[in-house]
Structure 1
Amino acid sequence: MAEQQTRPPRTDWQRNHQRLLQVASALVARDGTRVSLEKIAREAEVGSATLHRHFPSRRALLQEVFQDIVERLRRRAGELADGDPRTCLDTWLEELTVCAAETRGLGAWLAAEADGDPSDGECCHVVMREATAALVDRARSAGAVRPGISPQDLLTLTEAVSLVTEDDPTTARRLLRLALDGVRP
């Protein structure tokens, strides 16, 4: 049996995919993660079946909508890994919280994913948990956080702050700073 070569997606498939992502990103930013899939398809000027061929579920669509943001955050956590452990952790948590407050639906998405299948290593929440864990471990080793504080505790904190301050990054930053005072030894 001959090995089957994979062909790149057709141009119209790529165009539809990008258009769906652009429209979905804009509508999620405006309306949140519960935006109607039919509305996304209609505004992207494709049929509902086309949307479902590209994204078999709401989860698949949202995963891709938030993927670039999460990848940027992952890189940022790596950049912070070499500095002062306390400052790096504080900076990371603040940037994560502000990003989630500014990106409508991201905080809710991360919180919902936390309750999902932890074996899905590519989900946004797992990526954020791994990035946070590395920074928390460094901060813990340096005595910059109280014993018993877990990466999940801090993610839950940032998710909660970003959910209640959606579209208000200034308040998100202020509330996080207040909460972080309780994290320090």
Structure 2
Amino acid sequence: MDAKDMGEDLEKVLVTEEEIRARLAELGARIDADYEGRDLLIVGVLKGAVMVMADLARALHNPVSMDWMAVSSYGAGTTSSGVVRILKDLETDIKDRDVLIVEDVIDSGLTLSWLVGNLKSRGPRSVEICTMVRKPLAFDVDLDVKYIGFDLPNEFIIGYGLDYAEKYRNLPFIGTLAPHVYEK
């Protein structure tokens, strides 16, 4: 799927496929340098981080282990219930490990802040965050994000793992969805 397949549903492209690839190479080089000789576990947060996790892992030259988590802070609607639930937990023991959480986007940071606290309680050597997109204007908490792909405005974005109603994750770029799609 690409921009022409979306027709009028795509408002604009914010980050191209080429820009994503270049930024992942830069992030990969930084992560490789920071974790040289260390036992790094990268933890993808499902479902959105699938694209980032796969491409970031390929950009790394040091060996890494991978695992996945799924967490939810949403009830039946589109607003947070305030309660975070683990839907899929790690299969890996992280005690004394270096853990890098990989995210597609950080909006408010509330759920991710809870996740960092939860993982730190398990005794890892370190816990850091890598995200493809951060929306600094949407942050509700003080959250230290070590590796950031792109800072974007607080708009409804799709593509490269980001979805609307479970669609558009497979776009190779990040763009904004036309309002007529979600204001129905």
TM-based fold match above 0.5: no
Of Structure 1 and Structure 2, the greater strand share is in: 2
Choose between structure 1 and 2 for higher RCO, CA contacts under 8 A separated by at least 6 residues: 2
TM-score normalized by structure 1?
A: 0.26
TM-score normalized by structure 2?
A: 0.26
